Structure 1
Amino acid sequence: MQSLLQINSANIQFKAQQAFQNLEFKWQEAQHWAIIGISGWELTAFIESIRGNSVVSSGEISRPFAVAYSTEKSQSKEIHSFRDLIAYVSQKYEFHNKSHQQNFYFQQRFNSTESEEAATVLEYLKEVDAKIAGLWTLESVSKLLRLEHLLDKGIIKLSNGETRRLALALGLLRQPKIYLMDQPMTGLDVKSREEFGEVLKEIIAAGVHVLISTSADEIPEGITHIAKIDKSGILETWTKSEYHGLGVQLKSTASWGWQELGTLLPTSFPQRESIIKLENVTIKYGEKTILNQLNWEVKPGERWLLKGPNGSGKSTLLSLLIGENPQAYSQDFWLFDRKRGTGESIWDIKRPTGFVAPELSRYFPTNQTCRKVILSGFFDTMGLFKKASKEQEALGLRWMKLFNLESLANLPISRLSLENQRWTLLARALIKKPELLILDEASQGMDEFQRRLFKDTIQQICERSTMTLVYVSHYAADVPDAVGKVMELR
């Protein structure tokens, strides 16, 4: 069996940190790997090492899969790289507008005129410049990844699941020999996660070799081998049949200072009849109805799970709750006992609401550090643009200490690991002691260890305060026990 890639006795640094010591790994033809482990940072570091984006201080990484291609291009004196044969799907999507600038702002997706600044799915797919010829066409990837009905849709309007399918399609159009995917099933609903295995099998059947990072309990169809890693290297490998026979689980526990958390949370809220009340709310974009005569009431102190498949309207509903959707003013819709469109300002809506979504980190200016992002929660702005008081600075420091972010205070949020971005955004939402906390797939991108800690943290918040909670997740295991009510969109 021919070798595709070999890592021999490699000591590897990633983002100026020691990632692996004496790493050994062999990837051969007809093997399709799932990489698991406790640390999401290590999983990403492993994939980035294969891509050549790490420092190998000793040992070596060889890539036999690119030798023939490199020889051919060298003989014809063409500029080339082994990366020409690799496609990669990251957890961070960085799409640009028609001016090729990544300057979207969060509200833009809900404004029907300004959202047109975003390129459509079709325009984005047409931009792919493959270095080699191959089997994948715009038509075949659109059909495989169910993008045909989305081709004319602006990318900023895509749901999380639709965005992930677009990212997979862009990778295929590069005509890869090697396809690397970092946590590709994160944020997909149950049906989409099942379908992902079928998509993977079709990609493999077309001759593409696949390596993904994933959680220990989500090994999709098509994968043939599993490897468990940590800083010391590959701990163990299995064939898929061996792995399923073992029922392997990764277990680890941790906690924050729960008593300190309790002192940071609000102790009382104003008396209200309801926090959220919707009566026959209908939201349309053009001819497409997103929400159809929706009725929902959330009482103070209730904890709700908001669920539904990708594209069912969850993001649109949340945009109403956080004051970002201009169609709110034409609806029978109340927040904090006040009907929208009765003279309230956007700040009246935002002040009592804490909101966390993984994509929020993309919309902060590049100079916004961990500390500034957290402090911006006091002002409900996407960044800190005024001087915080001594009391606010002190409170920000307490939140950073609680979530172990103190050493990262002056790093731009874009440079933080995904899990630390999530803790930063949670601290930003909580620092102003909100009445309503909305968490939209807020632990997305975290490894299993961090996801359990996030779930425990939200449970502790519910136990130590009367804060109202709306929790969005496709993973039943991530939902805290305190969540007792369900709103399901279909």
Structure 2
Amino acid sequence: MPQNLLLIQNSKVLFKGNHAFENLNFSLNQNENWAIIAESGWLQTAFLETIRGNTVIPEGHVERPFASTYIQEKSAQKEMHSFRDLIAYVSQKYEFRNKFNQQNFYFQQRFNSSESGETLTVEEFLQAVESKVSGPWTVEGVMELLDLERLKDESLLKLSNGETRRLAIASGLLRQPKLFLMDHPTTGLDLASRTNFGKVLKEIISQGVHVILTCAAGEVPEGITDVALLDSKGVDKTFSASSFSDQEEIIARKEWNWDLLKSLLSREKLPEASPVRLENVTITYDQKPILNQVNWEVRAGEKWQLKGPNGSGKSTLISLLIGENPQAYSQNFWLFGRKRGTGESIWDVKRPTGFVAPELARFFPANQTVRKVILSGLFDTMGLFKKINAEQDELADKWIELFELEREANQLLSRVSMEKQRWALLARAMIKKPQLLILDEASQGMDEMQRTLFKDTVQKICENSAISLIYVSHYDEDVPDEVNQKFSLVN
């Protein structure tokens, strides 16, 4: 009889004040490692948070036998303890703090080389990770496993999204967990890193760690033994990993009111000037080239996919295009026919361009509601700080209606689900009817249904307007058909 490590029985679960599961039942046994699949990413996160003890359970109970011996020992020694001491968790909302232990970075800070001294390096960050228990993982070992050795002296601010993801996993291992919970761990990883993730996972499991992770139905990695399909009642079905195949029937197809979307798009013909033209652009940080002699032109109405592995400089290139990189003035590049550094204001740069990236949600002030965030797109500010008129308010209402955000409109952005945040950010980018739309892994963190809907939405935007588009994604299947040109960066 396999040893039971975790048991959830007949549990009604509330997460962030909302109903998550009516009757959740789940067990983890010795030598099992689970992938959790669901139509809703919010349900997947609620499931992991239930294991962590961060949900309300008015009915039923959760048992954690994996921590029993540890709790008995610490109780006998009269030491502070918790079952959480034996759990590592990689969230989709990971945040790193500066040297003053404050998470007070602002969005532009990552592109300002003079400010990188305020943050720890990769090696310093990992050395500072504390564990309540002993175990096999060392700083050197996790850096080798997660391919972080070459980044050990890099400031946290200079890491790409995928590199930051690998760092979060490495940090989790240094907690010497018995149970490792990962919420969509391959999100933001390039193709090579995703391909290698199965090997990483098997090495983690070989050290006695049990893994429960969430993922898309078509992305169950090597090392996983079992798959659970969730719905609002609880665990709907379970499969062995060997018998599980991409369960297409769980991916519901959803559509917005496309006529409403069409009415919100610009009818103006775009100017003839190319939105983007770069000539031999070179960006360096601490004498290290991030972009080296880059030449690229995006003509009006063109749709491009920007590709490249983690760390190849995609975010740095985008920072130039959205006016956030202080090295812009020393480079030869033109935005909408005007050379940077010829007297234009930052608002002149930002006005024609809409921009969405998942990390943007972290940088809005804490008091910003979904409605305020959407309206802030009219002013290109990280939050709403101006009075708005009736016409602007009505325009926001239409975008809120389109993306079905009525219930969340007056909630704080930080309190709504990740997929709702993504739609709010897209509405923020589109509310000003931009000539150029830049989407940097914009559907990251969405579940499969929402990712498909996001792709469909961008497709409809392209079909019904003359907008220019730069689309960044490590997943080719997420790229709309209208995107028919590719530009690749290399490390």
What's the TM-score once normalised by structure 1's chain length?
A: 0.98
Q: Does the alignment pair 1:66 with 2:67?
A: yes
Query: 1:160 Cα shift?
Result: 0.8
Counterpart of 1:471?
471
1:486 is aligned with what amino acid?
Answer: K
Unaligned runs of 5+ in 2: none
Q: Distance in 2 between matches of 1:266 and 1:11?
A: 47
Q: Greater CA deviation, 233-242 or 195-204?
A: 233-242
Query: 1:256 Cα shift?
Result: 0.9
Q: Distance in 1 between matches of 2:270 and 2:354?
A: 16
Query: 1:272 Cα shift?
Result: 2.2
Q: Distance in 2 between matches of 1:95 and 1:286?
A: 21
Query: 1:59 Cα shift?
Result: 1.2
* Contact 1:4/1:27 (8 A) holds in 2: yes
Query: 1:250 Cα shift?
Result: 2.9
2:404 is aligned with what amino acid?
Answer: N
Per-residue deviation, residues 18-58 of structure 1 (Å, max 9, x unmatched): 11112111110100000111110000000000111111111
Query: 1:269 Cα shift?
Result: 3.9
* Contact 1:304/1:470 (8 A) holds in 2: yes
Q: Distance in 2 between matches of 1:461 and 1:349?
A: 22
Q: Does the alignment pair 1:443 with 2:437?
A: no
Q: Distance in 2 between matches of 1:21 and 1:427?
A: 33
Query: 1:247 Cα shift?
Result: 6.1
Secondary structure of the corresponding residue to residue 466 of structure 2: coil
Q: Does the alignment pair 1:241 with 2:246?
A: no
Q: Relative to structure 1, is the Cα distance of residues 249 and 218 closer, same or farther in structure 2, using a 3 angstrom cutoff? A: farther
* Contact 1:217/1:249 (8 A) holds in 2: no
Q: Greater CA deviation, 425-434 or 285-294?
A: 285-294
Counterpart of 1:405?
405
* 1:81-100 equivalent positions in 2, closer than 5 A: 81-100=82-101
Per-residue deviation, residues 65-116 of structure 1 (Å, max 9, x unmatched): 0111111111111111100000000000111111111111111111110232
Q: Greater CA deviation, 414-423 or 320-329?
A: 320-329
Query: 1:329 Cα shift?
Result: 1.2
Per-residue deviation, residues 344-385 of structure 1 (Å, max 9, x unmatched): 111111000000000000111101111111111011111111
* Contact 1:89/1:182 (8 A) holds in 2: yes
Q: Distance in 2 between matches of 1:110 and 1:466?
A: 31
Counterpart of 2:45?
44
Structure 1 runs (4+) deviating above 4 angstroms are: 246-249
Q: Distance in 1 between matches of 2:265 and 2:129?
A: 48
Q: Relative to structure 1, is the Cα distance of residues 406 and 248 closer, same or farther in structure 2, using a 3 angstrom cutoff? A: closer
* 1:31-180 equivalent positions in 2, closer than 5 A: 31-180=32-181
* Contact 1:97/1:117 (8 A) holds in 2: yes
Q: Distance in 1 between matches of 2:251 and 2:112?
A: 44
Q: Distance in 1 between matches of 2:87 and 2:22?
A: 25
What is the total number of aligned residue pairs between the two structures? Answer: 489
Q: Distance in 2 between matches of 1:13 and 1:271?
A: 51
Counterpart of 1:289?
289
Q: CA RMSD in A?
A: 1.1
2:322 is aligned with what amino acid?
Answer: I
Counterpart of 1:7?
8
* 1:87-486 equivalent positions in 2, closer than 5 A: 87-244=88-245, 250-486=250-486
Secondary structure of the corresponding residue to residue 27 of structure 1: strand
Q: Distance in 2 between matches of 1:248 and 1:318?
A: 35
Q: Distance in 2 between matches of 1:236 and 1:271?
A: 54
Query: 1:263 Cα shift?
Result: 1.0
2:53 is aligned with what amino acid?
Answer: G
Query: 1:249 Cα shift?
Result: 5.4
2:88 is aligned with what amino acid?
Answer: A
Q: Distance in 2 between matches of 1:126 and 1:327?
A: 32
Q: Greater CA deviation, 43-52 or 388-397?
A: 388-397
Q: Distance in 1 between matches of 2:188 and 2:421?
A: 16
Secondary structure of the corresponding residue to residue 187 of structure 1: coil
Per-residue deviation, residues 333-353 of structure 1 (Å, max 9, x unmatched): 000000011111111110000
Q: Does the alignment pair 1:25 with 2:26?
A: yes
Secondary structure of the corresponding residue to residue 88 of structure 2: strand
* Contact 1:269/1:435 (8 A) holds in 2: no
Query: 1:476 Cα shift?
Result: 1.0
Secondary structure of the corresponding residue to residue 407 of structure 1: coil
* Contact 1:216/1:249 (8 A) holds in 2: no
* Contact 1:112/1:285 (8 A) holds in 2: yes
Q: Distance in 2 between matches of 1:337 and 1:111?
A: 26
Q: Distance in 1 between matches of 2:129 and 2:11?
A: 33
